[in-house]
């Protein structure tokens, strides 16, 4: 069935529909990864967004039960140049088209994603819709759509839950958590306590954790301003690490500022320079906002990582406390595992902090 991808600037891309037949709208973004479509479509950081895959063939290894980052797709729709008709992989359970239909997820294929990506790069991310027909009001109606707000409140866990072990205990604040972060901690024997995004600092402190981790999540970090005093209180008493949205919130809590990127970083091949270790890591990224480098001047923050291509801030740490954050995903999933050592650095920081506290007791 012929369907249309319409952008708010009036551009139209014609393709064939698959998956759900419902009409949808959202912010259109692109991902440059060659694989990892299942992880991306279920990554909560894509909540409310129409996800374009720049790689020309999507779905060639199907969908399996192991690669979910959340229980269902959180992206609004799929845009692809070609969908694999006969996927082949020993783990696959169904094709991406079958999965999209089962999950009520609209898709459009046959689109010139190269031209679409170039347009987004030139004009920036914008609102878009997938429709069955185009009328005189289509673009005007699209321009009138209000952007989604309170994404974190919609996506965070509603209850606290625990993965008990005998290892170090980490309080993880869920702003839109990827399962791969939990897996990275679990394989290190960490006892993880997951809290909703509206948690009070004292609620966490009452559980006596050894450290705090701020998760990834969707949307504008400034819309989660209620958590900033909580972060300040926690980092004054416990070692802390932030990932993606957690990195941006860590920056805001310590006096820095954030801004919206023109088209974001979404893919698995972003080269990042570790300024502390003087090395390059290839990283997995998915974010539309960044920390303003000039706003760090005069704060207790210092830059530890930067993006090779556009020199955006990719890592921060406090000069006076055991706390740091990174804009990318050390858990990868999908993507390279170059930066997975950061979880080990975090745990080593906790151990060193506990040792220092004992010596001063």
Which residues carry out catalysis? Answer: 244, 329, 331
Residues 179, 43, 99, 270, CA torsion sign: negative
Could you list the residues known to form a binding site for L-glutamine, using ranges.
Answer: 45, 217, 219, 245, 248, 286, 288-289
- Collapse the DSSP code of 60 into the 3-class scheme (helix H, G, I; strand E, B; otherwise coil) and give the result: coil
Q: Of 333, 103, 23, 205, whose CA–CA distance to 94 is shortest?
A: 103
Residue 286, token pair as written in the block: 């998915």
Q: What's the DSSP call for residue 184?
A: H
Contact present, 269 and 281 (Cβ < 8 Å)? no
- Computed on alpha carbons and rounded to an integer, the radius of gyration of the chain in Å comes to 21
Contact present, 360 and 201 (Cβ < 8 Å)? no
What is the separation, in whole angstroms, between the first and last Cα of the chain? 71
Residue 358, token pair as written in the block: 């004992």
Give yes or no for a cis peptide into 324 (omega within 30° of 0).
Answer: no
- Collapse the DSSP code of 68 into the 3-class scheme (helix H, G, I; strand E, B; otherwise coil) and give the result: coil
């Amino acid at each position: 069935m012929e369907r249309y991808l319409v952008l708010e600037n009036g551009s139209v891309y014609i393709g064939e529909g698959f998956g759900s037949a419902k009409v949808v709208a959202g912010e259109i973004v692109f991902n440059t990864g060659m694989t990892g479509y299942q992880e991306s479509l279920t990554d909560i950081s894509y909540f409310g967004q129409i996800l374009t895959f720049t790689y020309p063939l999507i779905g060639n290894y199907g969908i399996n039960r192991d690669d979910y980052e959340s229980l269902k797709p959180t992206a609004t729709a799929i845009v692809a140049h070609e969908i694999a008709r006969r996927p082949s992989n020993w783990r696959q359970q169904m094709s991406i088209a079958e999965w999209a239909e089962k999950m009520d997820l609209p898709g459009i294929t046959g689109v010139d994603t190269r031209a679409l990506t170039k347009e987004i790069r030139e004009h920036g991310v914008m609102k878009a819709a997938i429709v069955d027909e185009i009328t005189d009001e289509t673009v005007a109606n699209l321009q009138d759509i209000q952007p989604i707000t309170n994404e974190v409140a919609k996506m965070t866990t509603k209850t606290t839950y625990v993965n008990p072990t005998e290892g170090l205990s980490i309080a993880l604040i869920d702003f839109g958590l990827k399962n791969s972060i939990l897996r990275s901690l679990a394989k290190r024997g960490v006892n993880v306590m997951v809290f909703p995004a509206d948690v009070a600092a004292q609620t966490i402190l009452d559980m006596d954790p050894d450290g705090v981790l701020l998760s990834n999540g969707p949307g504008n970090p400034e819309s989660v301003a209620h958590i900033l005093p909580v972060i300040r209180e926690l980092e004054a008493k416990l070692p802390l690490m932030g990932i993606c949205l957690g990195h941006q919130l860590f920056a805001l809590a310590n006096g820095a500022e954030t801004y919206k990127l023109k088209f974001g970083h979404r893919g698995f091949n972003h080269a990042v320079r570790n300024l502390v270790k003087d090395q390059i890591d290839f990283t997995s990224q998915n974010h539309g906002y960044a920390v303003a480098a000039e706003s760090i001047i005069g704060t207790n923050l210092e830059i530890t990582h930067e993006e090779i291509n556009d020199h955006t801030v990719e890592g921060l740490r406090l000069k006076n406390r055991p706390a740091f954050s990174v804009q990318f995903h050390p858990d990868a999933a999908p993507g390279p595992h170059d930066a997975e050592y950061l979880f080990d650095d975090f745990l080593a920081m906790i151990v060193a902090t506990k040792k220092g506290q004992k010596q001063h007791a």
